[in-house]
Amino acid sequence: MSGPATGGSCACDVLIVGGGFYGLNLAEYSAARFPRVILCERSAELMQRASFSNQARVHNGYHYPRSILTAVRSRVNFRRFVEEFQPAIDSTYECLYAVGRRFSKVSARQFYESVRRIGAAIGPASLASKRLFDPAYVEDVFLTEESAFNSTILREIMAERVRRAGVEVSLGTTVHSVRAGAGNRVQVEIERDGVRETVTADRVFCCAYAQLNGPGCEGGIAPIHLKHEITEVALVEPPGQLRGLGVTIMDGPFFSLMPFPARGLHALYHVRHSPHAHWYDGNAPWHPAYERLVSAEKRTAFPFMVRDSARYVPAVADCLHRDSLWEVRTVLPRSETDDSRPILFKPHFGIPNYHLIMGGKIDNVYDVLDVIGQTPNLWN
């Protein structure tokens, strides 16, 4: 097979790798500061990867009783996100958090205290809601306040915002590698329609999430240590009793079942059965995460998810499996111990003006924008 044809070259102030939620926000932010911002997205459409294939939860801190920092940041970002992306937000369902009686890393009391500490709403669930749970497996059930987002609407909002900001969005464009160029610029090798081109960028933000290490490694930069999991989120039609509910069992090898507005279904995620395989960048030569996902065996674990979950909430047994979302979930290895979701920001990574950015959850984007706004030598 002959290699791609070689095209021309161009220059820009900022080049963004990745058209997920993070890349789009970074592109809009950059376009307010510089005239020429190019965003390269390898897919034919924006926000098709982790920013679509997730559990759609707008976190409000409940999920992180073992990481006070992540819980507090979630609280702070929750209101802002819900207000800013209001058309994409579903807050109409009853959000229940329950605590498992066995194998939970927190007791019901500890969970309650951790929520009170961050000032989030929490109260007893109604008797009717409590009856959905098996008390042999569940210590207590709480009524909480959280939301789900519709990632299709989120994409429409962000696509319109970057268009208005004047960002040049280049779909179907893969960034192959980055290298140090003259005058501290970054030489970026991209490919579109089989044609290779070199872009000279004053600065590059890599927001490629599961493939964060790709352009750097291809250019000879050592990878950052990341954990990747091939993850299955089952999309289900819940039975009548669970339709207007979101249910999460804390804090251990349990599950959550909550609305997934982009498909009008519920997302079932099981801590033990949703992850199918994992690997670490940094332990072996870098290999594209999406290629691993494509070649992975995708035998659904839905029967195992549902069997275990129904022990806690018997009605889960009546969920109808409609589809599964398969995606690579990427986390920092340190999150494995406390289940935190910190942001990753590595300015000038390996070469000047090449910056890595990753957020463990959607609303962390505000923390990223705050940090890069305060970092010297990024914007001059």
Ligand X SMILES: Cc1cc2nc3c(=O)[nH]c(=O)nc-3n(C[C@H](O)[C@H](O)[C@H](O)COP(=O)(O)OP(=O)(O)OC[C@H]3O[C@@H](n4cnc5c(N)ncnc54)[C@H](O)[C@@H]3O)c2cc1C
Residues that bind ligand X (CB under 6 A): 17-23, 40-43, 47-51, 54-57, 59, 174-175, 207-209, 211, 214-215, 231, 233, 327, 329, 358-363
Residue nearest ligand X, CB atom distance: 20
In the complex, the smallest distance separating the C-beta of residue 309 from ligand X, rounded to whole angstroms, is 16
Q: Which is nearer to ligand X, 45 or 160 (CB)?
A: 45
In the complex, the smallest distance separating the C-beta of residue 125 from ligand X, rounded to whole angstroms, is 21
Q: Which is nearer to ligand X, 110 or 177 (CB)?
A: 177
Contact status, residue 360 vs residue 335, Cβ threshold 8 Å:
yes
Distances (CA, A) of 347 to 163, 203, 251, 351, 358: 26, 10, 34, 9, 12
* Bond before 308 cis per omega within 30 degrees: no
How many other CB atoms are there within 10 angstroms of residue 136's CB atom? Answer: 9
In the complex, the smallest distance separating the C-beta of residue 5 from ligand X, rounded to whole angstroms, is 18
In the complex, the smallest distance separating the C-beta of residue 94 from ligand X, rounded to whole angstroms, is 18
Which three-class secondary structure state does DSSP give residue 73?
Answer: helix
How many other CB atoms are there within 10 angstroms of residue 147's CB atom? Answer: 24
3-state per-residue secondary structure call for 228-295: EEEEEEEEEECCHHHCCEEEEEECCCCEEEEEEHHHCEEEEEECCCCEEEEEEECCCCCCCHHHHHHH
What whole-number distance in Å separates Cα of residue 121 and Cα of residue 351? 45
Q: Which is nearer to ligand X, 28 or 140 (CB)?
A: 28
In the complex, the smallest distance separating the C-beta of residue 57 from ligand X, rounded to whole angstroms, is 3
In the complex, the smallest distance separating the C-beta of residue 91 from ligand X, rounded to whole angstroms, is 15
What whole-number distance in Å separates Cα of residue 48 and Cα of residue 44? 9
What whole-number distance in Å separates Cα of residue 45 and Cα of residue 61? 31
In the complex, the smallest distance separating the C-beta of residue 331 from ligand X, rounded to whole angstroms, is 9
Q: Which is nearer to ligand X, 18 or 181 (CB)?
A: 18
Terminal-residue alpha carbon distance, the chain: 43
Contact status, residue 321 vs residue 300, Cβ threshold 8 Å:
yes
What whole-number distance in Å separates Cα of residue 250 and Cα of residue 109? 12
In the complex, the smallest distance separating the C-beta of residue 245 from ligand X, rounded to whole angstroms, is 16
What whole-number distance in Å separates Cα of residue 38 and Cα of residue 169? 6
Q: Which is nearer to ligand X, 173 or 353 (CB)?
A: 173
Q: Which is nearer to ligand X, 108 or 233 (CB)?
A: 233
Q: Which is nearer to ligand X, 142 or 209 (CB)?
A: 209
Q: Which is nearer to ligand X, 140 or 246 (CB)?
A: 246
